[in-house]
């Protein structure tokens, strides 16, 4: 008999009470607020600096339009920037300071408003309800179809999505904090599938209201995708635009939405992890807006707190792994790799990925880490902050100068760095190790040990089809790593899936099977003669990297094993 699905009560049952819906209903006023806030920031600068900012923006936008045009770009882009340039040259350059300031202000208003209109999305309840029903139906039917032998089982309830999307960690704490303040979720980022899975899991399995989240503007190139993104609370992020006016407008949107109490989700790593490792260097731009918004609330005498919650995603395999690891290896400049196409934006590819994923009884784990305040201090379910020694903390004290809450960007910059460090720390502590992670790590470390005279790039150039991993060596390495990881779990340094506690041989078989689910060239493959081989050392390296940063490679005591060749 199938288990009855666990019913999760929504924290805020009425969608019209969700902060993101209220913001969408007030979209025009919100955009005006962004316009005024961003303009005020720039108008504090001297005229020459302001003129340079505008000139730089025009220059960068002209390059973008020429070198990286997208279908989603508005048709009047060239005309708009031509008019802006003409206005700058005709009415700002070589004019009096007063005339130049007035013209610069007019130009900034036009540019900022254009960016704000592009960035701010909407949230439509009918679209959200349709998306909720569609995703539930789609994933459930797909799950049953992929896992069933007979077509008539497709419409049964034998297999449940809850058995594949595993939401763990501080879920109840986050549910309580939503009631007491504003929550910012900062996930790790490995796949373009992350956003849709996180959004669905937060709603269906955690009972949380929809979050405002950033979606790459490139995703809007597809009509269907754009339709839903535009109506589900996503704000648009154009990573081609790196000019200061765009970046400040984006930060203003984040800051002001947090002040309005809108729960937010953004990937602090900025983009998918190219190496497959947990992020260690975060982009601090949007993260700094969390500090600025909290200080602004305190300045107004509001005690409402903003809470930061790390979320760690654990996949057994990543569809884009081949593309990502090649980009990583190219970026570090040690080898030249042919650029491979990242075509995961294709709907056909995404459907194929989902089918392959579910057909192999894989699962994805979402681990909610320890919630913290904007200074990186842990908080309890009531939102109280505590220091490293467990002593209560009033975060207002950290924003004081002469007894008053004041704006101090240099101080807040330091706080942002500390917050980033604490998030990274929680990524490692709340990371859930899967069998695929452990087996890939052990196998690649064994490969390195048997080729100790080669550097990484020499190892990656080895003919994978000629090498067999000695089972004795792999078993020995996995057993040693199991012992180390179990002690680390006791010390609160990492979390383990239940399969990590299995005996080494079934653990290895499970990890190898899950790693080989999708990829044409298998990172690891178990052959009939009980031989383990790899069809791609690059992919094996990608999955190995998930356990980088723990120092595990120093914990293995290697014996001498004969290198087996095919």
Give the residue among 108, 260, 86, 289 at the shortest CA–CA distance from 186. 289
Q: How far apart are CA 478 and CA 127, in angstroms?
A: 48
Q: Considering the chain, what is the average pLDDT of its residues?
A: 87
Give the residue among 16, 374, 309 at the shortest CA–CA distance from 172. 309
Q: How far apart are CA 243 and CA 38, in angstroms?
A: 14
Look at residue 147 and tell me whether its pLDDT is greater than 70.
no
- Please tell me the least confidently modeled range out of 147-151, 239-243, 402-406: 147-151
Residue 515 is predicted with a pLDDT of 86
Look at residue 338 and tell me whether its pLDDT is greater than 50.
no
Residue 191 is predicted with a pLDDT of 87
In the block, residue with structure tokens 């009884």: 361
Q: How far apart are CA 560 and CA 566, in angstroms?
A: 19
Residue 97 is predicted with a pLDDT of 84
Residue 146 is predicted with a pLDDT of 44
Residue 227 is predicted with a pLDDT of 65
Between residues 206 and 3, the one the model is more confident about: 206
Q: How far apart are CA 243 and CA 57, in angstroms?
A: 5
Once rounded to an integer, what is the mean pLDDT over residues 232-252?
91
Once rounded to an integer, what is the mean pLDDT over residues 337-347?
48
What pLDDT band is residue 150 in, cutting at 50, 70 and 90? very low
Look at residue 155 and tell me whether its pLDDT is greater than 60.
no
Look at residue 425 and tell me whether its pLDDT is greater than 60.
yes
Give 24-31's long-range contacts (Cβ < 8 A, gap of 24+).
Answer: 24/121, 24/122, 24/123, 24/124, 24/233, 27/120, 27/122, 30/120, 30/256, 30/257, 30/260, 31/113, 31/116, 31/117, 31/120
- Please tell me the least confidently modeled range out of 16-25, 355-364, 454-463: 355-364
User: In 470-512, where do the E strands start and end?
Assistant: 495-496
What pLDDT band is residue 200 in, cutting at 50, 70 and 90? confident
pTM: 0.89
Give the residue among 436, 406, 435, 419 at the shortest CA–CA distance from 498. 435
Q: How far apart are CA 182 and CA 352, in angstroms?
A: 37
Question: How far is residue 251 from each of residues 145, 265, 431, 485, 556, measured CA to CA in Å?
Answer: 44, 14, 29, 39, 45
Once rounded to an integer, what is the mean pLDDT over residues 185-209?
89
Between residues 177 and 339, the one the model is more confident about: 177
pLDDT one-digit tens code per residue, 465-489: 889 999 999 999 999 999 999 999 9
The four Cα atoms 105, 111, 114, 118 give a dihedral, to 10 degrees, of: -130
Residue 353 is predicted with a pLDDT of 56
Q: How far apart are CA 165 and CA 366, in angstroms?
A: 7
Residue 141 is predicted with a pLDDT of 61
- Please tell me the least confidently modeled range out of 120-129, 161-170, 175-184, 251-260: 161-170
Q: If DSSP codes are grouped into helix, strand and coil, which group holds residue 86?
A: helix
Residue 516 is predicted with a pLDDT of 66
Q: How far apart are CA 485 and CA 508, in angstroms?
A: 15
Residue 6 is predicted with a pLDDT of 60
Look at residue 405 and tell me whether its pLDDT is greater than 50.
yes
Look at residue 164 and tell me whether its pLDDT is greater than 90.
no
pLDDT one-digit tens code per residue, 54-110: 999 999 999 999 999 988 888 899 999 999 999 998 887 778 888 889 999 999 999
pLDDT one-digit tens code per residue, 489-518: 999 999 999 999 999 999 999 999 988 677
Residue 194 is predicted with a pLDDT of 86
Look at residue 218 and tell me whether its pLDDT is greater than 90.
no
């Amino acid at each position: 008999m199938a288990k009855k699905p666990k019913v999760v009560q929504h924290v805020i049952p009425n969608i019209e009470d969700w902060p993101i819906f209220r913001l969408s209903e007030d979209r025009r006023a919100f955009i005006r607020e962004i316009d005024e806030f961003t303009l005020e920031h720039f108008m504090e600068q001297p005229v020459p600096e302001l003129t340079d900012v505008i000139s730089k923006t025009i220059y960068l936008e002209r390059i973008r339009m020429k070198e990286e045009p997208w279908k989603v770009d508005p048709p009047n882009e060239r005309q708009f920037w031509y008019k802006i340039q003409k206005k700058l040259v005709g009415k700002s350059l070589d004019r009096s300071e007063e005339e130049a300031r007035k013209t610069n202000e007019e130009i900034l208003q036009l540019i900022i408003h254009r960016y704000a209109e592009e960035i701010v999305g909407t949230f439509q309840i009918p679209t959200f309800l349709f998306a909720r029903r569609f995703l539930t139906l789609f994933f459930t039917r797909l799950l049953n179809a992929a896992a069933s032998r007979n077509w008539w089982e497709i419409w049964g309830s034998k297999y449940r999505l809850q058995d594949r999307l595993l939401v763990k960690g501080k879920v109840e704490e986050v549910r309580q904090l939503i009631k007491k303040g504003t929550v910012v979720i900062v996930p790790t980022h490995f796949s373009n599938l992350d956003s849709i899975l996180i959004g669905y899991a937060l709603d269906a399995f955690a009972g949380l209201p929809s979050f405002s989240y950033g979606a790459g503007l490139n995703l809007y190139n597809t009509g269907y995708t754009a339709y839903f993104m535009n109506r589900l609370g996503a704000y648009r992020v154009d990573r081609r635009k790196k000019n200061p006016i765009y970046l400040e407008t984006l930060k203003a949107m984040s800051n002001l939405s947090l002040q309005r109490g809108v729960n937010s989700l953004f990937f602090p790593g900025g983009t998918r992890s190219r190496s497959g490792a947990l992020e260690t260097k975060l982009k601090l731009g949007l993260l700094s807006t969390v500090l600025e918004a909290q200080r602004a609330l305190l300045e107004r005498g509001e005690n409402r707190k903003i809470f930061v919650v790390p979320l760690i995603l654990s996949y057994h395999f990543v569809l884009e792994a081949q593309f990502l690891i090649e980009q990583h290896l190219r970026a570090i400049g040690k080898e030249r790799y042919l650029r491979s196409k990242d075509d995961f934006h294709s709907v056909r590819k995404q459907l194929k990925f989902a089918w392959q994923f579910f057909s192999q009884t894989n699962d994805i784990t979402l681990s909610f880490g320890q919630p913290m305040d904007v200074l990186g201090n842990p908080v309890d379910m009531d939102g109280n902050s505590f220091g490293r020694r467990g002593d209560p903390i009033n975060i207002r004290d950290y924003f004081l100068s002469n007894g008053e809450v004041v704006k101090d960007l240099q101080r807040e910059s330091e706080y942002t760095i500390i917050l980033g460090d604490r998030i990274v720390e929680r990524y490692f502590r709340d990371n859930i190790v899967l069998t695929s992670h452990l087996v890939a790590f052990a196998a690649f470390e064994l490969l390195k040990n048997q080729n100790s005279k080669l550097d990484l790039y020499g190892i990656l150039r080895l003919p994978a089809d000629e090498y067999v991993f000695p089972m004795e060596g792999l078993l020995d390495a996995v057993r040693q790593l199991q012992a180390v990881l179990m002690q680390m779990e006791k010390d609160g340094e990492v979390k383990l899936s239940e399969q990590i506690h299995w005996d080494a041989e079934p653990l290895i078989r499970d990890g190898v099977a899950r790693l080989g689910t999708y990829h044409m060239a298998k990172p690891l493959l178990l052959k009939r003669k009980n031989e383990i081989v790899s069809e791609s050392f690059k992919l094996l390296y990608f999955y190995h990297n998930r356990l980088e940063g723990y120092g595990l490679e120093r914990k293995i005591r290697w014996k001498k094993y004969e290198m087996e060749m095919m």
